[in-house]
Structures are given as C-alpha cells and as structure tokens.
Amino acid sequence: MVNKEHLNRLNQGVEVWNEWRKQNQQIQPDLSGANLTMTNLSGADLTGANLSGANLSGADLTGTILNKSDLSGANLSGATLSPANFSGATLSPAKL
C-alpha cells in the first residue's frame, strides 16, 4: 500500500522529490498502488521504488530513473517511456 508521505513528497514536484531522495538514499519509496495517471515524472529518481500496481498511464517518464524498481502489475499504457532507465527493474506482468 502506498506510503502517503512518499506520495505527498512526489506530488510536490520532481525537484523536491529528487532532493529528498539525495538526502534519504536508504529509504525505499513505496508508491505501490498509487494513481499517477498523467503525472509529469520527467527526470525523477525512482531508483528502487515499489511501484507495483501503480497506475502510470499517460505519465511522462522521460529521463526517469527506475533502476531496480518494482513495476509488477503497474499500468504504463500510453506513458512516455523514452529515454527512461529501467535497468534491473521488475516489469512482469506490467501493462505496457
């Protein structure tokens, strides 16, 4: 289940999120099941984030860092994915 503090931080914008991530690298963000439809996440550092079951349909993930993130069961239909970094990410069974 989504951590509301993490979701609120992300909703403050990518700059605020990335600064928080730099200061809290030991935290694994839990955004599981979050509704991020049509959200601009361009350039966000989502390394190691739990995005399982999240709705990212239509989201802008341009340049987003999703290394080692869990996107199992996530909905990525219509999302802008290039050039996002999915190295080591779990995508099965994500909807692309």
Mean predicted confidence (pLDDT) in 24-41: 97
61-94 burial code (b ≥16 CB/10 A, e <16): bbebbbeebbbbbbbbeebbbeebbbeebbbeeb
Its domain, for residue 45, covers 1-96
Q: Is the pTM of this model over 0.95?
A: no
Binned at pLDDT 50, 70 and 90, residue 75 comes out as very high
**How many structural domains comprise the chain?**
1
Q: In the predicted model, is pLDDT for residue 87 greater than 80?
A: yes
- Provide the CATH number for the domain around residue 38: 2.160.20.80
Distance of alpha carbon 55 from alpha carbon 4, whole angstroms: 15
Q: In the predicted model, is pLDDT for residue 15 greater than 80?
A: yes
Distance of alpha carbon 15 from alpha carbon 73, whole angstroms: 27
Among 9-18, 29-38, 52-61, 78-87, the least confident range = 78-87
Q: What is the pLDDT of residue 95?
A: 80
Mean predicted confidence (pLDDT) in 54-79: 96
